[in-house]
Structure 1
């Protein structure tokens, strides 16, 4: 009996080209771009719909561990392991770590390497491709999924299809960097080129053998990180000292462009990497005027527009080829056809101390217990909206530089102050003096929402001393 395929979901990227919705603390894989589920959750659900797959391994940055665990729980999909990367080192060491981890448990493990932020229609063509790639991987090939191009796109790398192998796969002729428009048009006219999807099917032992031969520094870092890994709640923390010795290199450069075992499987199922706002626009199926509108907006005499807003009502009149993306605290306006430039603009914002925070955090920050939105901040005071999920509680903590007032606007709050417990309902409030040890909990069955007013000399998030925490956080 052929063993099941082990999916490996790479969920550590930051998705800068979908700014301002995607930011370092909540990147695109964890936000809802397509329907009422995040892209990561849709990936999990796609895997749960096939008996060919075993429980997945998720590789993510340690900073995203709680949002990953939360979204896995919401999706209701059985999970194998969450491997936590202590630092960003690109895809080569991430995949190598997952391969060593899987190989230690099954010497015949076959891994399906998947991005967490792609939009895919999991139809019969998709599962046929999975089965073909699985067969080729078990024959010792490292298989890249190549998407049959439908346009001369400059946002994707390309793969030249070489000599045919069995099971529909072919040898890789060569990998091609993202081309200019003239080259992309030539590739489409010539044929024999496919988009590099970033999805792979590999036998763990074949990949590791090639990695040890072709990228020994990556292999050594991954082997050490897995050997010295430690369990932490529901996660596995890869060893930081070993992992951080890995070079910052993609799996394409480290392995696939060097190995003699590289194969490509041309496929034609519905796929998008949603790597830019024009890709989101195309995946959303524009209306008769070529417009996609997500959120409150009015469009007049406007064509080929991508509009997404999380609050502000957007009005556009008399424009074509426009993208307007309005978050709580930042707005991007640009040509739809030049959406690939957003990543470069984010680098400029990040380089300026005055705008760096706009690339890193949203006004709404998410925590394992819920989250908060910054409403107003001025000298010596700050107003926040807190929301706590049913059955969750914050850490037992205190502040040295601020006091707080809490007003319940929805649900029931259980508040502990210096060991004394109070229960508050809607329209009730409580004062937390500076230095008190306190905790907020939601004992109810609906989300708790309250307004928090902070006053004091220093209002930073690092003015928290935790003495107890359900989520393993310290300090």
Structure 2
């Protein structure tokens, strides 16, 4: 059967001070007044039944996730005791589904991206499920149709179209410099790597065993234990022993370079925004004639191209003659930095006392 798991781990440290350890970005209403996790869940309405939707997140976020998604059964909220990178989060999900459904096909989706319109996304998802049904050994990734020479994303090169809307993958390209990204965009055969996938659960675990090797048997035991109601026990025994690695490095890139597991891609012609830093929120914030992006109580005088986000309803941010500035205010902290230094927020956060991060 067709399942979907929303990856909702991580803190979103570059979105401090709004995103914090106890309230990560996926739980925040950063776009259109809706928590990102809720938007990711709603995007599946009509595409995947509620009883086959899962969320994988940090165990400490379980209460917050249930507050946002009351229809999510506790057994389908997969709580990681600690971060072990994406290959283990996906494998934990795959192993748990496999223990309950030997024919599980899972879509691995994200909780921190804005994807519009939902109908176009759902058509791409349907194409991907169908492609994996036709080709059970395939590992499929979604590629976003690029609109500019992005240096902050990985890229995917596609080859021939093997079915309507489904292409063979030639290779993955790590985050390029601007000159390379410009050439990739001009080529027309590349898309942005979305970090979303579709494959059979058993195929993914077989590919992980082939290319990464370590941890698959322990993950299968975790999945079996979770399905039997022994989740805490098996996680305590095995989780911290699993080696960390991203799914791209551990599985997808080696598979694309080999010939045992065919790698496919479905291009998604959607508006796609990966909300990872304050400037990345530009498309989802209100904008004035001077290019200032705002949320909350903010007033500008002769300022331009600023990003100002204010969470405090009793406080107003005001600027005079500012340019290319980021100002973020919460009841607990205020951030001020140049736009082009916003990637260093994570570095700043690491200097703070633990209870202020």
Compute the TM-score of the two structures, normalised by the length of structure 1: 0.68
Partners of 1:51 and 1:31 in 2: CA distance: 24
**Higher mean C-alpha displacement, 326-335 vs 50-59:** 50-59
Q: Secondary structure at the match of 2:14?
A: helix
Are residue 228 (structure 1) and residue 231 (structure 2) matched? no
Residue equivalent to 1:329: 332
1:337 deviation in Å?
4.1
State the Cα deviation string for residues 84-127 of structure 1 (Å, max 9, x = none).
11121011111111111111222221111011121122433212
Partners of 2:169 and 2:346 in 1: CA distance: 29
CA RMSD of aligned residues (A): 2.2
Q: Aligned to 1:320, which of 310, 318, 323?
A: 323
Residue equivalent to 2:349: 346
Residue equivalent to 1:358: 356
Query: Which is strand-richer, 1 or 2?
Result: 1
Contact residue 162 and residue 172 of structure 1 kept, 8 A: yes
Q: Secondary structure at the match of 2:221?
A: helix
Partners of 1:11 and 1:222 in 2: CA distance: 19
Contact residue 97 and residue 225 of structure 1 kept, 8 A: yes
Contact residue 87 and residue 240 of structure 1 kept, 8 A: no
Are residue 255 (structure 1) and residue 251 (structure 2) matched? yes
Contact residue 156 and residue 190 of structure 2 kept, 8 A: yes
1:66 deviation in Å?
0.8
Alignment of 1:400-411 (within 5 A): none
Q: Secondary structure at the match of 2:355?
A: helix
Structure with bigger gyration radius: 1
1:77 deviation in Å?
6.1
Structure 1 residues 79, 111: closer, same or farther in 2, change over 3 A?
Answer: farther
State the Cα deviation string for residues 335-391 of structure 1 (Å, max 9, x = none).
3344333233334x25xxxx34322xxxxxxxxxxxxxxxxxxxxxxxxxxxxxxxx
Q: Secondary structure at the match of 1:342?
A: helix
Query: Which is helix-richer, 1 or 2?
Result: 2
State the Cα deviation string for residues 210-237 of structure 1 (Å, max 9, x = none).
11222221312311322333877xx954
1:22 deviation in Å?
0.8
Alignment of 1:2-21 (within 5 A): 3=1, 5-21=2-18
Residue equivalent to 2:241: 245
Residue equivalent to 1:93: 88
Residue equivalent to 1:310: 311
Structure 1 residues 337, 212: closer, same or farther in 2, change over 3 A?
Answer: same
Gaps of 5+ in 1: 360-475
1:78 deviation in Å?
6.8
Are residue 280 (structure 1) and residue 294 (structure 2) matched? no
Partners of 2:131 and 2:290 in 1: CA distance: 44
Partners of 2:265 and 2:286 in 1: CA distance: 29
Contact residue 66 and residue 72 of structure 2 kept, 8 A: no
Compute the TM-score of the two structures, normalised by the length of structure 2: 0.90
Structure 1 residues 78, 243: closer, same or farther in 2, change over 3 A?
Answer: closer
Residue equivalent to 1:401: none
Q: Secondary structure at the match of 1:228?
A: helix
Residue equivalent to 1:55: 52
Which one scores higher on RCO, CA 8 angstroms, separation ≥ 6? Answer: 2
Partners of 1:84 and 1:230 in 2: CA distance: 13
Q: Secondary structure at the match of 2:306?
A: strand
Partners of 1:24 and 1:178 in 2: CA distance: 27
1:285 deviation in Å?
5.4
Contact residue 6 and residue 53 of structure 1 kept, 8 A: no
Contact residue 208 and residue 219 of structure 1 kept, 8 A: yes
1:326 deviation in Å?
1.2
